[in-house]
Chain A
Amino acid sequence: MDFSYSEEQQMLRDSIGKFISQDYDFDSRRAIVDSDTGYSMEHWKTFAELGWLTVPFKETDGGFGGSAVDLMVVMEEFGKGLLVEPFLANTVLAGTGLSEAANEQQKQTLLQPLMEGNLQLAFAFAEPQSRYQLADVQCSGQIEDNQIVINGHKAVVLNGEAADKLLVSVRTSGQTTERHGISLIVVDADSAGISHRAYTNVDGHRAADIWFDQVTVPVSNLLGEADKAIEIIEMVIDRAALAVCAEAVGAMQISLERTVEYTKIRKQFGVTLASFQALQHRMARMFMEVEQARSILLMAAMEMDRLDGRAPRALSAAKSRIGKAARKVGQESIQIHGGVGVTDELDVGHYFKRLTTIQYQFGSTDFHTARFAGS
């Protein structure tokens, strides 16, 4: 057993921390969120130059190593800065899909440019009716004469507008919630028959709903085997869940720090808020929530790196516990700040928003508690 970071992990951590403190203060972030694209292309290039976009990938694919612990290190730092650049959509979701299912040629044409920061991708897996059931796929993919014809609607696709290519889950056979019969397909975002409605999510990240009407792609665009993609999709979503768990731990850490600092400055009744025991004890609870969240995150990341099949259970434990902590810490940080906490001008509210959306991404707290109980 070893709880220490490697030298490389420590360096990665430091370099992201340095970037955030120098180039990603709250006002710069706000300008990025309000921009047309919703993320900074310049920053994205920097991420590529610094090698951050290679982190979740195996060395044999030209990556940094691909361990879950590495990914955790990156996402925790991103969480501290509330980064909105589409790392989750590109590198974690689409990237994991490619790393697990792509053939050599697809890795060359998709994974390489992704790591170099020259290709934008999105992973379109959710549908309006599916909630968190990954096998609930109605979007159809009809295979005929070396072609696949896609029809359907994908919901809240992260980076859905900026993406050059989409990784889409479609039903190529079987009934709606059947595990067998689901395939992953790479689709050019500008193919005929694709329409989308793009928007900004409440947390500042960009997404889109996407409709497919008789969209036709060659069979060679299949990612992995036809009908057998469900396990790949589950692996991708578990990885993404781990990533947002780590992001939440970073965001909670800052929320707690901001709240404690504020109570030491803000005065009411002639004394600082920090002198009131009613508030002190609530902040102590926040502290314990952050620590418990951090502990279970470490557990899940290390279990994931063991590759012995126990990762889903560990991940569900983490997502459930961290979801609970994110809610508590987020809500308490607002309450303890008082009125100023519900204004748009202060950063705590924006941490609260991200901590809230994380609770509902890749399986809610209750979803994962139930999955843990059933495993």
Chain B
Amino acid sequence: MSRLLSLREAIAELVHDGDTIALEGFTHLIPFAAAHEIIRQGRRHLTLARLTPDLIYDQMIGMGCADRLIFSWGGNPGVGSLHRFRDAVENGWPGPLQLEEYSHGSLTHRYVAAASGLPLAIMRGFGGDLFGHTRMARVTCPFTGEELLAVPALHPDVAIVHAQQADRAGNVMMWGIVGVQKEAVLAARRSLVTVEEVVDSFAPHTGGVVLPQWVVTAVAVVPDGAHPSFAQDYSQRDNAFYRRWDAISRERDRFLDWMRQHVLETPDHRSYLRRLREEPPADQLKAGS
């Protein structure tokens, strides 16, 4: 049965140094507030799993939380590079970052295998050099003789996702682009869901996904907890912030300064949002430069 905790309590209890954690959400519903709290609490030596590292892991990598990254596409969508990810891989700053990389389909299948209680998942193979740089194997179909690709199950210690709503019993509901969040939660040993709000009962939503309270470890109420990502019917994707991140993150000093001012020196997500919104866009660009 899920327990309603503050975000601070939930991160303190669920996320430990050295854990493998998956903060999922494909462009939509990315749990940024939870990542910021992990950074505030100074977790180290994490293995970070996620299809798209996005700004959320760029921040965690740059702040020294991660030793390893399991991923499939590491860019700033529509904008360009993730500079902190690149600096870690190209120059080992702030420390070396081991990579285990996949395609979206193959990493998705790793969560599916784990959620299904299987040691592996099978998909159609593909050639190329990725095969030699990750954990994949070729297998032969015992029925047709076709050569297929196998990937091992991925069981994170903790999965963290953001959703629109929880009800009073601790069940969770999300809708819109739902990515691999359900699979990540079911694959993980522990799970945390941050939600926009708690409601008395769920309205039906086309394509909505419900996570029953007995598969979720903890729920924390964090309005706008996905910013600069978004929660459909609650907020818009802050595309301007994604564009601004390019300049904020390009140089180490400015990045560290920005993270100090906006994350380390704010006690919680509400203060982070207030801090951001107090700044006119021109000052946001100057901040930390």
A and B associate: no
Interface residues of A (CB under 8 A from B): none
Interface residues of B (CB under 8 A from A): none
